[in-house]
Amino acid sequence: QVQLMESGGGLVQAGGSLRLSCAASGSIFSINRMGWHRQAPGKQRELVAVITSGSPPTYADSVKGRFGISRDNAKNTVYLQMNSLKPEDTAVYYCYADVTTRSQSRSGYWGQGTQVTVSS
């Protein structure tokens, strides 16, 4: 089994910054892709950023130039640096990982979500 533990959410004023972290643990053989999605009240969950081994990161148009995703493979951890935050960035942010376990099964896993609230 694989668990994803997120941290770093909170309340920030518009224009401020937050850094989210997500650490994967458990029966991990390898992690192909890690990323962040978000879901605002009354809206569908949307991709924010994703990072895949050997490829440049991908960002939603709404966060390009403001957010940066990075990964520490040794720690099985992905980060999301969020700068110049806007009230419309308010959402629950979910970590996602595409994991191959030690038993060689491959599945996607989600974290429990962390709330980010940006006040105007």
Q: For the segment 49-84, what is each residue's pLDDT rounded down to a tens digit?
A: 999 988 999 999 999 999 999 999 999 999 999 999
Place of tokens 């989600």: 110
Residue-wise pLDDT tens digits, 2-35: 999 999 999 999 999 999 999 999 999 999 999 9
CB contact at 8 A, 42 and 64: no
HSE-CB for 30 with a 13 A CA cutoff: 6
